[in-house]
Chain A
Amino acid sequence: GENVEQHPSTLSVQEGDSAVIKCTYSDSASNYFPWYKQELGKRPQLIIDIRSNVGEKKDQRIAVTLNKTAKHFSLHITETQPEDSAVYFCAASIGGSGYSTLTFGKGTMLLVSP
């Protein structure tokens, strides 16, 4: 099955700095790569996603890049704020008609200090 590795496991930055989280996946058939944010005691919520036919996607301070050849994708957060502090999960999915294998990385705890 699909295996998703995520690094680093923890990341501490100062407010205003950039943060980068990296993930690799094992199955070249994966075609959907979402990122979820989970605040303490809350449910995971989607913040951005990218499909395999796109190399980069940006939404305000958040961007995701995908390198299909190397089978890795990254989340970039610019101008970090204390409210960005949370656990971030990457995921990879092989999706098609009738099937969808959404496999998560183990998460990165991001701490943004004021």
Chain B
Amino acid sequence: DAGVIQSPRHEVTEMGQEVTLRCKPISGHDYLFWYRQTMMRGLELLIYFNNNVPIDDSGMPEDRFSAKMPNASFSTLKIQPSEPRDSAVYFCASSAGPVTEAFFGQGTRLTVV
């Protein structure tokens, strides 16, 4: 397996634009997590899914953020409209069970200007 795959690796966008980040988890993994990493706040859990169903989205900062998982092999994180304070590295991770290793993708570095 190629591991967790995220796209794009880098995204630069203007304030107010819509941004969509994509993630393909490891095949067979039932859990998918979206994290945001900044120097100030570290790794923040935004939302996670179990068997494609969102379980906890309490970490989503505000209504501008939304996430979907239409099937077991694909998830998206959308920001609309984007703001400069959304600039961060966004990681997707997947795991086979609730207390097993979470494998991270390479991340998407988002810059909103």
Contact between A99 and B98, CB atoms less than 8 A apart: yes
Q: A99-B50, A100-B48, A106-B42 are in contact. Are A34 and B101 (CB under 8 A)?
A: yes
Contact between B101 and A102, CB atoms less than 8 A apart: no
Residues of chain B lying within 8 A (CB to CB) of residue A104:
35, 42-43, 45
Number of A-B contacts (CB under 8 A): 61
Q: Which residues of B pack against A, CB within 8 Å?
A: 31, 33, 35, 41-43, 45, 48, 50-51, 55-56, 58, 91, 95, 97-99, 101-102, 104-107
Q: Is the contact region of chain A dominated by helix, strand, or loop, or is it mixed?
A: strand
Contact between B99 and A43, CB atoms less than 8 A apart: no
Q: A105-B42, A107-B42 are in contact. Are A99 and B56 (CB under 8 A)?
A: yes
B68 to chain A, nearest CB (A): 19
Q: Which of A40-55 contact B (CB under 8 A)?
A: 42-46, 49, 51
CB nearest neighbor in A for B98: A95
Please name 6 pairs of A and B residues whose Cβ atoms are closer than 8 Å in the assembled complex, sorted by A. Answer: A1-B58, A34-B102, A44-B104, A49-B101, A99-B55, A99-B56
Contact between A95 and B97, CB atoms less than 8 A apart: yes
Residues of chain A lying within 8 A (CB to CB) of residue B42:
89, 104-107
Q: Which residues of A pack against B, CB within 8 Å?
A: 1, 31-32, 34, 42-46, 49, 51, 89, 93, 95-107
Residues of chain B lying within 8 A (CB to CB) of residue A95:
97-99
Contact between B58 and A45, CB atoms less than 8 A apart: no
Contact between B91 and A100, CB atoms less than 8 A apart: no
Q: A98-B55, A104-B43 are in contact. Are A46 and B101 (CB under 8 A)?
A: yes
CB nearest neighbor in A for B107: A43
B64 to chain A, nearest CB (A): 21
Q: Which of A34, A44, A45, A51 counts the most B-chain CB atoms under 10 A from its CB?
A: A44
